[in-house]
Structure 1
Amino acid sequence: MANHTPRTSESTQQLKEDLHHLTQTVEELVNATADDSRSNIKELRDRAEKRLKDTRERLEARGERVYGEARDTVTQQAEACDRYVHDNPWTSIGIGAAMGVVVGMLIGRR
């Protein structure tokens, strides 16, 4: 999981930058409406719409990538557990029995 930290940090930084740019453009749009300069408002509105669209696309792409990475990690962990159980069946039975005893004791206390 340690190998995901740089990517997560990079994604977080990119998200912050995207949101900062979007916020900046919206602020410019709000300030421009105070001037009531019609050509300036249209230009800033177009920029805000483009940045909003770009940010939305990036967020969707990141969400899909993070989902894929999480799915792959879970699959790898499940495969590792399966291999362990096949390689160590008696140990696995012992662990399962111990967990059953612990859960039984916890339920019995209620």
Structure 2
Amino acid sequence: MADKAPAEAIAEKTTRSITDALEYLEDKLKVSQDTRDKINGSIDRLQVILEEARDEAEDKTKVVRRQIRRHPGTSVAIAAAAGVVIGLLLSRRD
């Protein structure tokens, strides 16, 4: 259950930010009702897209966790190799 909280929080925060921005623009520009309907439709579509992205991220997280549980040694080796590569790349920047 704890895995859902960060994804949901990000989706809700993003939706809230977009909604706030669009409402601000709507107020400042004194847009027509037709434009308001389009804005609201866009908000609805964005919410659906964010929900689908959150669900997909949760599904991918479950798959990765399952693979880590099945192959813990390989997972540690991959993480170590990734750390070495990132370390080498970062050391080259200096």
Aligned partner of 2:49 in structure 1 is 66
Aligned partner of 1:95 in structure 2 is 78
RMSD between superposed Cα atoms in Å: 1.8
Q: Deviations over 1:2-34 (max 9, x none)?
A: xxxxxxxxxxxxxxxxxxxxxxxxxxxxxxxxx
TM-score, structure 2 as length reference:
0.58
Aligned partner of 1:76 in structure 2 is 59
Q: How far 1:52 moved relative to its partner? A: 1.7
Alignment partners' CA distance in 2, 1:102 and 1:50: 55
Aligned partner of 1:14 in structure 2 is none
Alignment partners' CA distance in 2, 1:89 and 1:60: 42
Structure 1 runs, 4 residues or longer, greater than 6 Å off: none
TM-score, structure 1 as length reference:
0.50
Matches within 5 A, 1:1-110: 49-109=32-92, 110=94
Tell me which amino acid in the other structure corresponds to 2:42. L
Mark the runs of 5 or more structure 2 residues left unpaired by the alignment.
1-30
The higher radius of gyration belongs to: 1
Q: 1:93 to 1:51 in 2, by over 3 A?
A: same
Which has the bigger relative contact order, CA under 8 A and spacing at least 6?
Answer: 2
Aligned residues between the structures = 63
